[in-house]
Amino acid sequence: MSARAAPREPATIRERGRTLTNVPGPAATTLLLGALLLAAVALRLRSIDHGLPWAYNADEELHFVPIAVQMLGGSLNPGYFENPPALTYLLALIYRLGFADGGFQRAFVADPTTAYLAARVTVALIATLVVGLVFVAGARFFDRRVGLVAAALIAFAFLPVFYSKQALNDVVTLVPVSVALVLCLAVYERGRALDWGLAGLALGAACAVKYTAGAMVVTLGLAALERVLERRDTLTRAALGLAGAGVAFTLAFVALNPFAVLDFAEFRSQLGGQSGQASTAKLGQDAVPAPLYYAWTLTWGLGWAPALAALAGAGLALWRAPRRALLLLAFPAVFVVFLSGQGRFFARWILPVYPVLAIMAAYAAVVLADALPARPRLRPAVLAVLALALVAQGLVASLRVDRVLAREDTRAQARDWLERNVARGSRVVVEPFLPDGFLRVGDRAGPERFERWRVKRPFQAYEARLRPQLVERYRGERYCWVVTGSNQKQRGLKAGLPGARAYYARLAREGERRALFSPFGPGAEPVEFNYDLSFNYQPAAYARPGPVVEVYRLRGCG
């Protein structure tokens, strides 16, 4: 063995001379992991067709699936770089291989169900792969028990499960992130040229799936630094390794995002625009510091018990296995600092750190199980109980929200009411909270059922443009029906916009509310607007998906 290579640790946790035992054998591990994977895929495929043929999530509706369908026309340039195109390319390939006839693009315009469902199933399967990769990462950093408990947490935690049912790139990013964790550990342990190159490829792929995941280069840099400090590499050798990894990173990123180079001007323009939006505060955003907001999202996205266990696990690991702990914790620390500099907060933006949090929580559970005064033969059962306690909150929330998603959306209820009660061709004001084509006759390609008031773009500034005088304009131009959605209404009110407050007050005074469709169960308190909870329906008050929809008829309107 080379003097510069560290021996690979066996499947036990070695910490300053201590060895934690009771690690399951390969056969038992395979059986348990197989059961976890089956449970994970089953949970992710439940209610996978929610909302279809409509994608109520605006990012799902606009960003990946329609761009992939558009690419079937022949051009490999997505023309869209606000999000990296790796997932878009994958979906375009699936559509081309699975739906080879030339009518797929035309069919998508009228009924996009097939395209969205295929994309969601693809994401759900990739999300199941994440469970297996988190096991590998946990086992490589510590032992197979840590890997199994961490895999269970990712399998059942609410936020990873919820976004496994959306055709978005957030959960997909966890694949290269988990692989990169293992490869950065290999760089630290062995430092071979192959390890550097593979780690660079994984990091480049992660950045090509979600730009912010590129922050994980800090883990690779720390692995190089630790090798130098331990005198297993010279500074020159470590620099050469980092340079090789940088070349591999660039190759992977360009291979998965070639038009970032071939159409660099457009790439730079859109990336700058996306960064500008992310750094701008949104109306109705919770007025708390970003680190506190993200810590709060962990209490329901990951769960109270695993969030606290992850904190305890981080402390234990820094004390008992500091080198490995630093490799794991560097990325979450840098990532949260980066996200805290943005003006907008979304729980799903912090999903890339979930594998590390799951491993830390699992590590705490394993250490606790071994520390409890139980007979050695009973310790696996003790660990199983602790694992169940860690996953319980996420599993219950995931199953409950699955039932919510399976019910009819309030927007669909409101559309049915309008079709029955408002004459075709009537002039209607509808706030911008509906998918494109939602009020057309027949399908998305049909004619508009109503003559709709034109809402100017950008829709993100809709609430800031509201004024009470608009109500009189509606009446003067015979737009007698007004349809509001709480996700639009409440963000303006929560932001304290005087124009929005006066507008909705006048609408309530001068309009008769003819219909109301609420997503909340009988007797449940409405949930205050939040950019996460109002769209993922995690609070128990939700009985069905969608916002509160109100339909007003203006008095004295011809």
399-413 tens-digit pLDDT: 999 999 999 999 999
Say how far apart CA 316 and CA 262 lie, in whole Å.
48
Q: Check whether 554 has a pLDDT greater than 50.
A: yes
> 472: which residues sit within 8 A by CB, 6+ positions away?
none
Average pLDDT of the residues in 349-364: 96
Ranking 65-79, 358-372, 396-410, 498-512 by mean pLDDT, the lowest is 65-79
Q: How many helices (H) and strands (E) does the chain have?
A: 24, 7
What pLDDT, on a 0 to 100 scale, did the predictor assign at position 4? Answer: 44
What pLDDT, on a 0 to 100 scale, did the predictor assign at position 20? Answer: 46
Q: Which residue has the higher pLDDT, 66 or 379?
A: 66
Q: Which residue has the higher pLDDT, 354 or 3?
A: 354
Average pLDDT of the residues in 366-384: 84
Question: Which residues does residue 481 pair with via DSSP β-bridges, in sequence order?
Answer: 428, 553
What pLDDT, on a 0 to 100 scale, did the predictor assign at position 12? Answer: 44
Give the DSSP H/E element, type plus range, for residue 483.
strand 481-485
Q: Are 328 and 141 in contact (CB under 8 A)?
A: yes
pLDDT digits (tens, 9 = 90+) for 458-476: 777 888 889 999 999 999 9
pLDDT digits (tens, 9 = 90+) for 6-64: 434 333 444 433 444 567 788 888 999 999 999 999 999 999 999 999 999 988 998 89
Ranking 5-14, 247-256, 326-335, 405-414 by mean pLDDT, the lowest is 5-14
What pLDDT, on a 0 to 100 scale, did the predictor assign at position 184? Answer: 95
CA distances from 212 to 2, 33, 160, 425, 538 (A): 36, 30, 17, 46, 25
pLDDT band, residue 273 (cuts 50/70/90): low
Phi, psi of 161 (to 5 degrees): -70, -45
Say how far apart CA 142 and CA 197 lie, in whole Å.
23
Neighbours of 192 (CB within 10 A): 15
Give the DSSP H/E element, type plus range, for residue 481.
strand 481-485
pLDDT digits (tens, 9 = 90+) for 84-106: 999 999 999 999 888 866 678 88
Q: Are 265 and 81 in contact (CB under 8 A)?
A: no
| DSSP structure string for 429-469 | EE-S-S-TTTTBSSSTTS-BSSEEPPPPSPGGGTGGG--TH
Neighbours of 281 (CB within 10 A): 12
What pLDDT, on a 0 to 100 scale, did the predictor assign at position 259? Answer: 85
Q: Which amino acid is located at 94 in the chain? A: I
What tokens were used for 396? Answer: 């219950």
Averaged confidence pLDDT in the chain: 89
pLDDT digits (tens, 9 = 90+) for 135-176: 999 999 999 999 999 999 999 999 999 999 999 999 999 999
CA distances from 286 to 291, 299, 425, 504 (A): 12, 16, 40, 21
